[in-house]
Structure formats: C-alpha cells, structure tokens
C-alpha cells in the first residue's frame, strides 16, 4: 500500500478502490484503448475531478488496474506459506490457477494481457508492466527455491532463469487461451508437461 493511500481517510480509500474496480471492468469490456476516464468515474460514482485527484492521469488509472489484477492473480498465493504439499506442487497449482475459468481470475488475466499489449504503444505503461512482471517472477523463483530445498525440484535448476521462462510460457498460453486459439484443458496439459520437463525432480 502506497504511503499516500495509507494517509487517506476511509472514504478516500473506498473511492480509490471503486475507481480501480470500475477501470478493471471497463478494460475487460472494451480494452485499454476503449477506456474513457469519464465513463470510469461515472461507473465508480465519483467525479472526473476526484478520479484525477487520486490518479493524476488516465495512464495512472490503467496502471492501478494492472496492479489490482496482479494482486488478484493466483500466483500471489505463493507469497504466503503453503498449506502443506511441496514447493513444486504449490507452484504447479498457482500457475495452472492462472488459466482458470473462474470469472474473477479470467478478468484479471484479461486486464494483465491487455495492459501488456497496450504498453507496446504506450510508453507510460511500460514501467508498471515491468514492475508487476518482476514481482511475479520473484514469487515464482522463491517457490522454485522452496522446491529445491524440500527436494521436489531438481537441483541444478537456476530459480531466476526457470522462473523467467515459466512466467513467459504462462503469458503466452494465456494470450492464446483468451484469444480463443487454445482450449483451457490443452493449456493445462502443456503447462504441466513443461513444468515436469523443466524443473520437477525425476522419480
């Protein structure tokens, strides 16, 4: 939570949250390029002036929606101590969970993919995409380290490199799945296979 947010009143935090949720919904419906600040403000029940007070710019609203989507992602479960099971199992469950028909997860994935795709055209979004991607990679790398420690991941696997490859693979599978070019079950099968081949300790 940012310092500026901590200082806000409860009403300010509610407004901020309502704006972020409205922005995410708008991105899921129409994409980043279809997002209009006035419509987001109206959907959140606030004035455009209040929206600009909280976020300064349209890009600031989009970045906040990306951070929200990132916090909603199943991989954040890796931040807390796993409830039993190995490091490998926790990682497999988290990454498979990113490709989920659960509506909240699917919407977060659409926001993530759409903001990443928009960053190609909008340099103002690139820092935020880089930041959430690096957080995701660090979570996955830590899970791989836990797996090496508990013997479920092969020794010799480089956690940062393996994490970078795995999150790129999940990103690519997500795009194909959301674009209707890959079934979810096939995406799961491919991801399971890649995990087995790349990091799972042999039986």
Closer CB to a second copy, 35 or 90, in the complex:
35
Q: Does 84 bind a second copy (CB under 8 A)?
A: no
In the complex, minimum distance from the CB of residue 49 to a second copy, in angstroms, rounded to a whole number: 27
In a 10 Å sphere around its CB, with 0-12 CB exposed, 13-18 middle and 19+ buried, how is residue 84 labelled?
A: exposed
Residue entry with tokens 């997002």: 35
H or E segment to which residue 21 belongs:
helix 10-30
Strand, helix or coil for residue 57 = coil
- Residues in region 98-127 near a second copy by CB under 8 A: 110, 113-114, 116-121, 123, 125-126
Stretch that binds a second copy, among 6-14, 42-50, 86-94, 173-181 (CB under 8 A): 173-181
Q: How far is CA 25 from the centre of its chain?
A: 15
Closer CB to a second copy, 123 or 202, in the complex:
123
Rounded to an integer, what distance in angstroms lies between the CA atom of residue 96 and that of residue 93? Answer: 5
Closer CB to a second copy, 10 or 179, in the complex:
179
Residue 153 phi, psi dihedral angles, 5° rounding: -115, 140
In the complex, minimum distance from the CB of residue 60 to a second copy, in angstroms, rounded to a whole number: 18
Q: Does 180 bind a second copy (CB under 8 A)?
A: yes
Closer CB to a second copy, 19 or 119, in the complex:
119
Contact with a second copy (CB under 8 A) among 97, 135, 171, 201: 171
Closer CB to a second copy, 84 or 156, in the complex:
156
Closer CB to a second copy, 79 or 130, in the complex:
130
CB neighbourhood size of 33 (10 A): 11
Q: Give DSSP secondary structure letters for 119-182.
A: HTT-GGGHHHHHHHHHHHHHHHHHHHHHHHHHTSB-TT--HHHHHHHHHHHHHHHHHHHHTTSS
Residues at the contact surface with a second copy, assessed by CB under 8 A = 30-31, 33-34, 110, 113-114, 116-121, 123, 125-126, 129-130, 133-134, 161, 164-165, 167-173, 175-176, 178-182, 186, 189-190, 193-194, 197-198
């Amino acid at each position: 939570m940012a310092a500026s947010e901590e200082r806000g009143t409860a009403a300010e935090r509610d407004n901020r949250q309502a704006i972020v949720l409205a922005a995410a919904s708008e991105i899921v419906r129409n994409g980043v390029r279809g997002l209009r600040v006035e419509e987001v403000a109206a959907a959140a029940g606030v004035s455009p002036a209040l929206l600009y007070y909280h976020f300064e710019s349209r890009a600031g609203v989009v970045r906040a929606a990306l951070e929200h989507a990132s916090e909603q992602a199943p991989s954040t479960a890796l931040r807390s101590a796993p409830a039993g099971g190995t490091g490998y199992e926790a990682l497999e469950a988290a990454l498979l969970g990113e490709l989920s028909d659960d509506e909240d997860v699917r919407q977060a994935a659409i926001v993530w993919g759409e903001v990443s795709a928009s960053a190609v055209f909008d340099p103002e979004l690139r820092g935020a995409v880089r930041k959430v991607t690096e957080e995701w990679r660090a979570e996955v790398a830590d899970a791989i380290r836990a797996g090496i420690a508990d013997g479920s991941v092969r020794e010799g696997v480089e956690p940062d490199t393996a994490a970078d490859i795995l999150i790129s693979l999940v990103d690519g599978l997500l795009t194909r799945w959301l674009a209707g070019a890959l079934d979810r079950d096939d995406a799961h099968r491919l991801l399971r296979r890649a995990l087995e081949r790349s990091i799972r300790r042999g039986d």
